[in-house]
Structure 1
Amino acid sequence: MLKEILLSTLTGAVVGFVFAFFKLPIPAPTAIQGIMGIVGIFLGYQLYRMFF
């Protein structure tokens, strides 16, 4: 699991670097509300998997 987290973080950093290099808008939410929305989606998915 730690390997997946590290690979995901590294991949995100590389994608962010590439977008910044080409002066493109970042492909991720820039506000805490957007980030928390993603966390909520993940938590909802995990809850469903726990009960069904």
Structure 2
Amino acid sequence: MLRPKIQEIIAQSEDPEQAAFRVLKFMEEKIGLWGNGWFDDDPAMERFLEES
């Protein structure tokens, strides 16, 4: 289930921005958002994924 894992990621994050990065990384791993252009206008997210 996705919701409990997302709740866990948010609860463990230090701040909202970090939570957003971590949730989107989790979603990328599960359903592949990057290849569909979801991060095309978000260079910070692209860097986060490349560095992770």
One fold, TM greater than 0.5? no
Query: Comparing both chains, which one has the higher relative contact order based on Cα–Cα distances under 8 Å and sequence gaps of 6 or more?
Result: 2
Which TM-score applies when normalising by structure 1?
0.35
**Rg comparison, structure with higher value:** 1
Which TM-score applies when normalising by structure 2?
0.35
